[in-house]
């Protein structure tokens, strides 16, 4: 285990502030480059104490609430919920059943196409969230569970399968998904934390804020580094300029310009984690040629291109590089070959023929960690060099494809990096790489 996507007001019990919200911008803690790229308004579903469903749309750039709608009662007492997409929500009941809620419209009214029980019992999670990339998470008794969801509207166990227990020790006050296998949460002692989940027993926790989040009783994220937290009935919004760095010093707060200062009385809240994505700062145009000299910044830029495209993993197919001028095999070593702009797709056995072994403590952006047992990752940057913690990018496996992760040089408590023994990795520096 590691410590590592218009304006209507609600009435009655969810009467939200009637005053018009002013235009706000990202706070000074965020850099000029906005990281969150959203396809439209942020979608947040919720449930009221009487079991009715609610829907709220929020402008991601300003934090202004666009509309809130109240729908019909679900017909059971909700316990936990997770939003699969803009019109499909999974909700558990206090009796342990799992329901699929199909939304017919959330334009000027909130109407349902149906509420279908898809699982009779066993769903006892106290919190549940969906990462927008096929993975459903839930916590119960401190355990973190994960399922793979294979359909946009799952009908039951055949579409919600491959259940695993990630690990123990996940005693959390709130839980939300911020992206593909990335979770954010708050603890009872006021910490804001994030988790990168790589597999069973293989995860990293990062403490984004050491305190100040005690009053947050519900947390949701549409992805892209946007977080929404409810405090004393008000909904506040936050923006993490780089949600991949495991740090919270670049999170912008908007305490004087909340989404709403009061009125958020829903018993459950859930956002669609696929509304927004993180877009890394733009990289310089390509200056390298195939097999020629390449700068470290260009290597990382090429790697981020495949990451943003989520190029599917395969040992037998190829994909184009950012310029579309060359194709590389889409496995772990083919990815590194592409990032280095090498003249062919090397494998883990032949990568050393175009690189030199270096000390792991000397790793710089664009270097690699390679193990001839079958895997290689591209070193992205140090997260905490003194502790040996770093960020990497890799073609992971046929189930997860392109991924970004964080780990320790010694592999942390389980001694592994990306599922392979940390001790078997050798640090490599491409022969043609230069600083810049």
Q: Please give the average per-residue pLDDT across 307-335, as a whole number.
A: 93
Lowest mean pLDDT among 202-206, 361-365, 377-381: 202-206
pLDDT in tens, 297-307: 999 999 998 98
pLDDT in tens, 331-352: 999 999 999 999 999 999 999 9
Please state, for a pLDDT cut of 70, what percent of the chain lies above it.
91
pLDDT reading at 369 higher than 70: yes
pLDDT in tens, 194-252: 999 988 998 989 999 999 999 999 999 999 999 999 999 999 999 998 888 888 998 99
Q: Please give the average per-residue pLDDT across 116-140, as a whole number.
A: 96
pLDDT reading at 27 higher than 90: no
pLDDT reading at 18 higher than 50: no
Instruction: Give the per-residue pLDDT at 283.
Output: 55
Cβ atoms of residues 17 and 261 within 8 Å: yes
DSSP H or E run through 175: strand 174-179
CA pair distance 333, 350, nearest whole angstrom: 9
pLDDT reading at 4 higher than 50: no
Smallest CA-to-CA distance from 288 within 335, 343, 328, 331 is with 343
**Is 0.85 surpassed by the pTM of this model?**
no
CA pair distance 30, 24, nearest whole angstrom: 13
pLDDT reading at 179 higher than 80: yes
DSSP H or E run through 308: helix 296-309
CA pair distance 321, 319, nearest whole angstrom: 7
DSSP H or E run through 334: helix 332-339
pLDDT reading at 119 higher than 70: yes
Q: Please give the average per-residue pLDDT across 16-30, as a whole number.
A: 28
pLDDT reading at 2 higher than 60: no
Quote the distance between the C-alpha of residue 54 and its chain's center: 24
Burial of 252 (0-12, 13-18, 19+ CB in 10 A): middle
Instruction: Give the per-residue pLDDT at 15.
Output: 32
pLDDT reading at 135 higher than 80: yes
pLDDT averaged over every residue in the chain = 88
Residue with token string 């934390």: 193
Burial of 283 (0-12, 13-18, 19+ CB in 10 A): middle
CA pair distance 317, 242, nearest whole angstrom: 32
Instruction: Give the per-residue pLDDT at 35.
Output: 58
């Amino acid at each position: 285990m590691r410590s590592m996507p218009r304006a209507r007001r609600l009435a009655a019990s969810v009467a939200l502030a009637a005053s018009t919200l002013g235009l706000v911008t990202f706070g000074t803690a965020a850099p000029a480059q906005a990281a969150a790229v959203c396809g439209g308004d942020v979608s947040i579903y919720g449930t009221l104490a009487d079991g009715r469903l609610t829907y709220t749309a929020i402008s991601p750039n300003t934090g202004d609430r666009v509309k809130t709608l109240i729908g019909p009662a679900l017909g059971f007492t909700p316990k936990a919920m997770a939003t699969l997409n803009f019109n499909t929500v999974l909700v558990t009941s206090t009796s342990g059943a799992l329901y699929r809620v199909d939304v017919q419209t959330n334009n000027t009214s909130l109407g349902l196409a149906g509420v279908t029980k898809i699982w009779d019992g066993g769903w006892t999670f106290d919190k549940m969230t969906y990462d927008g990339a096929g993975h459903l998470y839930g916590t119960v008794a401190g355990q973190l569970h994960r399922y793979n969801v294979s359909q946009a509207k799952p009908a039951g166990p055949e579409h919600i399968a491959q259940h695993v227990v990630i690990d123990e020790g996940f005693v959390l006050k709130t839980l939300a998904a911020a992206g593909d296998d990335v979770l954010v949460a708050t603890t009872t002692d006021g910490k804001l934390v994030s988790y990168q989940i790589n597999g069973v027993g293989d995860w990293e926790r990062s403490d984004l804020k050491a305190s100040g989040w005690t009053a947050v009783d519900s947390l949701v994220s549409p992805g892209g580094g946007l977080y929404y937290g409810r405090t004393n009935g008000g909904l506040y919004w936050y923006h993490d300029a780089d949600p991949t760095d495991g740090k919270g010093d670049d999170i912008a707060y908007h305490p004087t310009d909340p989404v709403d200062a009061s009125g958020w009385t829903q018993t459950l809240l859930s956002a669609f984690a696929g509304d927004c994505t993180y877009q890394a700062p733009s990289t310089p145009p390509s200056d390298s040629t195939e097999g020629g000299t390449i700068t470290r910044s260009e290597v990382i830029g090429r790697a981020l291109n495949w990451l943003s495209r989520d190029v599917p993993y395969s040992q037998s197919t190829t994909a184009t590089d950012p310029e579309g001028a060359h194709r590389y095999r889409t496995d772990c070593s083919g990815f590194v070959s592409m990032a280095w702009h090498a003249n062919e797709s090397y494998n883990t056995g032949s990568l050393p023929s175009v690189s030199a072994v270096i000390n792991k403590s000397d790793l710089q952006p664009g270097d690699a960690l390679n193990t001839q047992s079958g895997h290689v990752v591209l070193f992205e940057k140090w997260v905490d060099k003194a502790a040996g913690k770093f960020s990497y990018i890799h073609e992971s496996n046929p189930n997860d494809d392109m991924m970004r992760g964080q780990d320790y040089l010694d592999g942390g408590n389980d001694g592994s990096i990306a599922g392979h023994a940390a001790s078997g990795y050798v640090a490599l520096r491409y022969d043609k790489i230069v600083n810049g």
